[in-house]
Amino acid sequence: MTDELELLRNWDADTAPLTEPARAKARHRLLNTMAHAERHPDTSPSRRHALRLATAAVVAVAVTGTAVLMTKDGADEGDRPDRAGRLSGTAAPRMGNVGAATVLNGAAARAGKQEKPVAPRDDQFIYSKRVITETERRTGAVRTYKDVNWDSVDGSKRSLTMELGRMIWEEPLKKGEGVWPPREWSKLKKLPTDPEKLIPGIIGVGTSSKPMSDFTADDWFDAYFMLGELLKWPVLPQGLRPAAYEALALVPGVKAILGVKDSAGRTGVGIAYPKSPFGQGKYLIFDPESYEFLGFRDERTSASGDKTYIQLSHVVDWAIVDRLKQRP
């Protein structure tokens, strides 16, 4: 017998389902809120820690199709001068007519010519030295850090890393834990060096077989993020770095920003993804003529949430070594 509760349950009250534009708008609102959130104050901010967690998040994001985030209305807002101003923080760069694809393909050609074959063993470490110039947005105060890191090649050993001058021991990866990019050389070697195959190969953490023609906005953001993280890794198998640059050029929404500065004060072209709240204020910097890769720009907020810093960083040295604390 039907009771009143069941009648109520079966009545949809003339409800239309959630539309895709409304879903995208709501998600955009949430992601904007997230993008401006403080990290938990109990947690010491750690780039390495964040990377590992963020990587786990991206994995979750990728497999659940969560990522981001754009409304049709907002699709072109990257071109607006006010948004560009916010992106840059310091100077007033312009979103340029210099195509992002030209810069990225140029960088790919250059990287292809310059790379040398390497093959670290799983029991070795990758030593890298990163220079970070940090400018506090409000006061303009500048500090420079030289962080050195020894990362276990396959993640099975403790790694020693540095976060703005502070030493941090990283415990080995636990079973089922992973990072992007993968540490094991064998896994990196399996990534396609054809850019059109690399993109479908990395979204969904390699579990997706979706062709690029079927990509949603979320899939493209995943691709952009995963490629950016891959490019941050100092050592990649031959052919992978040029492929990642070329793949980045295939991502719709990637833009060139003119007149940005690198950590050495040189003027370069930024390659950004202004559509995403996660991508705001972050970009890769290239020499506008030679397309040499000059470094990354990022932003961080202090644990108390009241200070914002603009970070310019680049790797000045790297090597494959046998032991922790061994320098080349």
The pairing of strands 166-170 and 255-261 is unpaired
C-alpha 265/C-alpha 205 separation (Å) is: 36
C-alpha 36/C-alpha 63 separation (Å) is: 24
C-alpha 325/C-alpha 320 separation (Å) is: 12
**C-beta of 200: minimal distance to another protein in Å?**
12
Instruction: Find the binder of another protein among 114, 186, 216, 326 (CB under 8 A).
Output: 216
Q: Answer yes or no whether residue 316 interacts with another protein by CB under 8 A.
A: no
Q: Answer yes or no whether residue 39 interacts with another protein by CB under 8 A.
A: yes
Q: Answer yes or no whether residue 64 interacts with another protein by CB under 8 A.
A: yes
Q: Answer yes or no whether residue 34 interacts with another protein by CB under 8 A.
A: yes
**C-beta of 67: minimal distance to another protein in Å?**
7
163 or 287: whose CB is closer to another protein? 163
Instruction: Find the binder of another protein among 105, 124, 161, 208 (CB under 8 A).
Output: 208
Strand ordering across the sheet containing 267-272? 94-95, 255-261, 267-272, 283-286, 293-301, 308-321, 125-136, 142-152, 159-163, 166-170
Quick one: tokens of 81? 């001068």
**C-beta of 93: minimal distance to another protein in Å?**
26
Q: Answer yes or no whether residue 213 interacts with another protein by CB under 8 A.
A: no
**C-beta of 30: minimal distance to another protein in Å?**
5
Query: Residue 194 in 3-state DSSP?
Result: coil
Q: Answer yes or no whether residue 61 interacts with another protein by CB under 8 A.
A: yes
Please give the residues from 3 up to 32 whose contact with another protein meets the rule CB under 8 A.
3-5, 7-9, 11-19, 22-23, 25-27, 29-31
Q: Rounded to the nearest 5°, which phi and psi values hold at 13?
A: 55, 40
Binding part of the chain for another protein, among 35-43, 77-85, 266-274, 304-312 by CB under 8 A, reads 35-43
**C-beta of 272: minimal distance to another protein in Å?**
18
Binding part of the chain for another protein, among 57-65, 144-152, 231-239, 288-296 by CB under 8 A, reads 57-65
Q: Answer yes or no whether residue 171 interacts with another protein by CB under 8 A.
A: no
Q: Answer yes or no whether residue 66 interacts with another protein by CB under 8 A.
A: yes
DSSP 109-164: HHHHHH-------TTSEEEEEEEEEEEETTT--EEEEEEEEEEESSS-S-EEEEET
Q: Answer yes or no whether residue 1 interacts with another protein by CB under 8 A.
A: yes
Q: How many CB atoms lie within 10 A of CB 240?
A: 23
C-alpha 230/C-alpha 188 separation (Å) is: 10
Binding part of the chain for another protein, among 88-96, 201-209, 230-238, 299-307 by CB under 8 A, reads 201-209
Q: How many CB atoms lie within 10 A of CB 249?
A: 21
Quick one: tokens of 204? 């969904």
Those residues whose C-beta lies under 8 Å from the C-beta of residue 27, and which sit 6 or more positions away, are: 68, 69
**C-beta of 277: minimal distance to another protein in Å?**
9
56 or 148: whose CB is closer to another protein? 56
Amino acid at 164: L
Instruction: Find the binder of another protein among 210, 211, 264, 322 (CB under 8 A).
Output: 210
Positions in the binding site for another protein (CB under 8 A)? 1-5, 7-9, 11-19, 22-23, 25-27, 29-31, 33-35, 37, 39-40, 43, 50, 53-54, 56-57, 60-61, 63-67, 204, 207-208, 210, 216, 218-219, 278
